[in-house]
């Protein structure tokens, strides 16, 4: 029998990779999008005709119930959120409404439809390494205490714990993936990794002369989004729902990312990078590095893409993109 999946946040980086994966596995895939004139399907053009699109908004529980009723999913993947940390400082209330309370509304909708259909709908919550914030332990595991350092991180902690609460209170098959930073050529331009690779491409093509960044010292555990969505799927195939850290177990600084990105086009990053205070966060997360041994042991998952290969992949993609956008020979 063909499985059905509903993905919130379909048009984002993770949504597009997850939709590809599930289609490859023979699923019927539906994606929830907000009713908006600015919906961007660029990441999905190649598979858009294979996906059912439904309207829904994490701020509106009735719309979530309608989306689940329409699609009758076996699995729901909640990837929707206000997911940019910097924006969460400017819009903390909106971040809380969508990234925190929105999870509760979706869980309520899933629970109600499960009871109506008399079947267990499996639920995945996209948790984040930003929940660890001011880290209390290195590396971070599923047992590491949370200490979020941004409104986004705080909202993700709420979303994580409300998922645990519904799992334990209502016997839901609800799992959270505590994903560390994961990047790809489909990453939004507002994120520092993609900002770096896109501007490296512009500089290489002679279309820019500098790249302005904030703090270069923070260290992150960066993996490839295409690898990480496989872990999401694996979590929902388990007999028992659990939470898992998904990470590479390696840490690299923003400066190192710059060095590799500029090096991929034979340029010296120091000739082009300018630090700018306006890109500094009010409170920074200094060192994130995850221990994914539980996921490796229980899910059989491990990252496949090396850090330097990830950076090169993103730079090469942006070189092609910039050439097309600006009609560069």
Catalytic positions, written as ranges: 128, 130, 152
Q: Is 54 helix (H, G, I), strand (E, B) or coil?
A: strand
Query: Phi, psi (5° rounding) for residue 10?
Result: -55, -40
End-to-end Cα separation, the chain, in angstroms: 50
Instruction: Give, for 153, the enclosing helix (H) or strand (E).
Output: helix 151-170
Residues 6+ positions from 254 with CB-CB distance below 8 Å: 192, 196, 213, 215, 216, 217, 218, 220
DSSP character at residue 86 = H
Contact 164, 232 (CB under 8 A): no
DSSP character at residue 140 = B
Pairing, β 252-253 against β 219-220: antiparallel
- Per-residue burial over 306-322, b if 16 or more Cβ lie within 10 Å, else e, is ebeebbbbbbebbbeeb
Contact 214, 240 (CB under 8 A): no
Distance CA 15, CA 67 (A): 16
Could you give the C-alpha distances from 122 to 9, 25, 79, 133, 259, in angstroms and in order?
Answer: 17, 17, 14, 28, 42
Length of the chain: 329
How buried is residue 47: exposed, middle or buried, by Cβ count under 10 Å (0-12/13-18/19+)?
A: middle
Token pair recorded at residue 181: 């930073």
The answer to whether the Cα torsion of 291, 293, 299, 301 is positive or negative is positive
Contact 185, 318 (CB under 8 A): yes
């Amino acid at each position: 029998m063909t499985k059905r999946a509903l993905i919130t946040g379909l048009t984002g980086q993770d949504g597009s990779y997850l939709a590809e994966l599930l289609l490859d596995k023979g699923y019927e895939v539906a994606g929830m999008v907000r009713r908006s004139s600015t919906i961007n399907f660029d990441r999905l053009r190649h598979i858009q005709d294979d996906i059912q699109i439904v309207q829904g908004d994490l701020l509106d529980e009735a719309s979530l119930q309608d989306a689940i009723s329409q699609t009758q999913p076996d699995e729901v993947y909640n990837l929707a959120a206000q997911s940019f940390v910097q924006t969460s400082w400017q819009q903390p209330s909106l971040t809380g409404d969508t990234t925190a309370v929105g999870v509760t509304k979706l869980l309520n909708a899933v629970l109600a439809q499960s009871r109506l259909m008399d079947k267990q709908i499996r639920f995945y919550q996209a948790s984040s390494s930003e929940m660890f914030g001011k880290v209390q332990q290195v590396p971070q595991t599923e047992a590491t205490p949370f200490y979020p350092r941004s409104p986004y991180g705080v909202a993700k902690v709420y979303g994580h714990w409300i998922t645990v609460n519904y799992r334990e209170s209502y016997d839901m098959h609800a799992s959270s993936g505590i994903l560390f930073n994961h990047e790809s050529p489909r990453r939004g331009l507002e994120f520092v990794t993609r900002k770096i690779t896109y501007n490296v491409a512009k500089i290489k093509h002679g279309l820019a002369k500098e790249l302005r960044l904030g703090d270069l010292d923070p260290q992150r555990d960066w993996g490839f989004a295409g690898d990480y969505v496989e872990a999401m799927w694996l979590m929902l195939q388990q007999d028992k729902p659990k939470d898992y850290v998904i990470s590479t177990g390696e840490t690299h600084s923003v400066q190192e990312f710059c060095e590799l990105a500029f090096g991929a086009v034979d340029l010296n990053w120091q000739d082009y990078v300018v630090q700018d205070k306006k890109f500094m966060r009010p409170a920074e997360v200094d060192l994130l590095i995850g221990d994914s041994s539980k996921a490796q042991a229980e899910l059989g998952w491990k990252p496949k893409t090396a850090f330097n290969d990830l950076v090169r992949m993103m730079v090469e993609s942006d070189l092609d993109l910039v050439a097309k956008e600006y009609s560069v020979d």
